[in-house]
Structure 1
């Protein structure tokens, strides 16, 4: 492994900043909350905590009754430290909406369900999290996973001093990471962020629920390098060479936000027609081809997203070439899953044309929220005299499509789209608030 860089910025701790989290407006003083008929005032004892930590699906546990919901939400941070099995299903309420970056700070567009549960989300942007102008017109989101955003703060496009922050909009916590400049600077890179939710269920000493690890891969002369930042260690790791396969500068610049699988051991980045796979334990990599068209369907390789199935399997979401014939008008979204037996082994087809305008002429997949099963996609409809663009969200579990927002298409309104869903701790903490929320 190469020697550690000499720059002091590589070992300096992050600058944590507190702000106005989206959950803060819903917080109430428990002592001032009206007593309910089903609340006997009994505190959550250590014995009950032990029972709750052994429950594999806390969401269903919290749905049992109002009292259990309040108990789970009150102890969300503690309970989420305990490794548990994946729920084996999508949890739709985790999806809150998407960030869209045009000419100013990335602004948030919520789903209808999120707006009803969290009033005020429609007015939110990154600038509301902190007051010191950290996020300006040059800030760009580069990754979004499990309730965390990774934001590139560089003011100039060709600035090689990498300036990143990791923030949780729900909690209002912003970590400004040590800058990587000089010999540690880099150009094109791909990144993703791991959270406590990514840990293996066999983990003996689980990290705090606020734990994160940012992983970078980038090009050096003749090879691909990797380094990471851990919130527990508070510093960047040494850079190390990635072996076996590599991504050139052009492909590196085309990567999508990474997908984390196998209990936090593998990261997958989609780049054009291939998947770049990195083992975080060995730093060995591989390049795997994307699934090809099947059953007579012609799927656009450039119109593809990666994600995970509820059981933790890698999957690809693709959209087929549309049939606009009035007698046989079809718009197909294909979900292909990679199993242990074979790459891209099973597939599912979802028809969405019934939810779209009759004059739609183009569809673009934008984002897949892997824990909630929400797929964001945009459309262009109308004629040359008046084109319009809409953003939709598809619930994979129910196959329901909802329209989120419309734009007159005098320019591309969806240049940089990043979907956002809550992490497990924030979701459980929100279950009891606001008090009038319906039972799940």
Structure 2
């Protein structure tokens, strides 16, 4: 419900002068914001408004949080703006860059050509989070240096990260992209609403596990730090961990049944084993059934695991298990307790005739959408039959267009990352003075 005009003063914005921009529009800023917020304009409509003139662009971008908060419930989008996924094949030597496949409901084509530049040939997708992608550039030169790029496909912005070479170059590494909301409970937070980011790497040195952080506000890497704690993870295992998940000032990665957690400020590291009793045997992804799961964040801010499994009782019908880690401190044995939240039965949503495997390809943690691929063979020696997007809360499934893909013994053979962007962050990124 729209707020009365008198309550707009609580939105702490600097007083802006209409005459300075001279767009000839008679409504003042506060009335125009009410139109943006209380009307039936959707996200694409607001983007068109921002393209109209400099003043409207400033209002939409600088007051995005206020506009989205005031939207009537009937017009409110999901927490995350789920738009599609990026995919990339390494099965040949073409060096083709990542490609974007949008959801049918997403009309914008902004993401379609973001990787057309030769800069992204022979690259590799590393992570996708909060509307940004992390890409490892020119992967063939990895032995000499590590070159990363962070890009916002929606606005075409690309940040080339300084190269790590020589003694600074990490070997196998785990990577996480952190935004302002991820760093609220750390000793060095970012301003709320800021589009700045940090890139957090964990890798092995000869006698210890190291970390390093890049900050977009300084445009430089910080000094190398040393992880403390009892966690022991091999360098090769670190190289298998993709797309870190941030929860309350810590980053977590999953590889098979091992969860590695690192506090960003103190560099305290923990390692835990995910319970074996929930293992999946519906797809031997990369030759191992434990690959059929992903980390995410629950709506109440807890670390959770989404996986393809089978219900208790011996039924062959596949389900999606959602398990959350309990609040509180870890037990004395060092193993966290995991609570089963709910199951989603797939037999009612998927055509399972002639299906031999169900593979979990990606999880969009903000919108609660997961990607599932089906195949005729359990060991994924043949291409997928189809790709589906499942909304966990609504238990709605849709068939989405997909290029030929499959799991493979070689981890880098096929990259798949669901892409979503929070609506506030998307509209804020339209500002010409965005700090990216």
Query: What is the CA-CA distance between 1:79 and the residue it aligns to?
Result: 4.0
Paired residue for 1:360?
355
Count how many residue pairs are aligned between Structure 1 and Structure 2.
Answer: 367
- Alpha-carbon separation, structure 2, partners of 1:385 and 1:237: 43
Answer yes or no: is the 8 Å Cα contact 1:241–1:283 preserved in 2. Answer: yes
In structure 1, the gaps of 5 or more residues are 1-28, 53-60, 432-440
Query: What is the CA-CA distance between 1:290 and the residue it aligns to?
Result: 1.3
Paired residue for 2:12?
none
Answer yes or no: is the 8 Å Cα contact 1:91–1:373 preserved in 2. Answer: no
Query: What is the CA-CA distance between 1:177 and the residue it aligns to?
Result: 1.0
* Alignment root-mean-square deviation, CA: 4.1
Paired residue for 2:401?
405
Match of 2:261, SS?
Answer: strand
Answer yes or no: is the 8 Å Cα contact 1:105–1:125 preserved in 2. Answer: no
Distance 1:411 1:143, change over 3 A: closer
Distance 1:90 1:343, change over 3 A: farther
Answer yes or no: is the 8 Å Cα contact 1:153–1:164 preserved in 2. Answer: yes
Distance 1:310 1:177, change over 3 A: same
Query: What is the CA-CA distance between 1:126 and the residue it aligns to?
Result: 3.5
1:186 corresponds, among 164, 167, 170, to 170
- Alpha-carbon separation, structure 2, partners of 1:409 and 1:260: 28
More relative contact order, 1 or 2 (CA 8 Å, 6+ apart): 1
Answer yes or no: is the 8 Å Cα contact 1:388–1:407 preserved in 2. Answer: no
- Alpha-carbon separation, structure 2, partners of 1:288 and 1:340: 15
- Alpha-carbon separation, structure 1, partners of 2:140 and 2:391: 38
Task: Note if 1:416 corresponds to 2:415.
Answer: yes
> Deviations along 1:242-265, whole A, 9 cap, x unmatched?
011232112112112100011xx1
- Alpha-carbon separation, structure 2, partners of 1:31 and 1:171: 24
Task: Note if 1:98 corresponds to 2:90.
Answer: no
Match of 1:250, SS?
Answer: helix
- Alpha-carbon separation, structure 2, partners of 1:251 and 1:408: 28
Query: What is the CA-CA distance between 1:95 and the residue it aligns to?
Result: 1.1
1:246 corresponds, among 223, 232, 235, to 232
Query: What is the CA-CA distance between 1:307 and the residue it aligns to?
Result: 0.3
1:124 corresponds, among 96, 109, 112, to 112
Match of 1:167, SS?
Answer: strand
- Alpha-carbon separation, structure 2, partners of 1:322 and 1:359: 20
Distance 1:251 1:163, change over 3 A: same
> Deviations along 1:306-352, whole A, 9 cap, x unmatched?
000122111100111599x9xx7622000001131463123210012
Query: What is the CA-CA distance between 1:397 and the residue it aligns to?
Result: 1.8
Paired residue for 1:259?
245
Paired residue for 1:346?
340
Paired residue for 1:65?
39
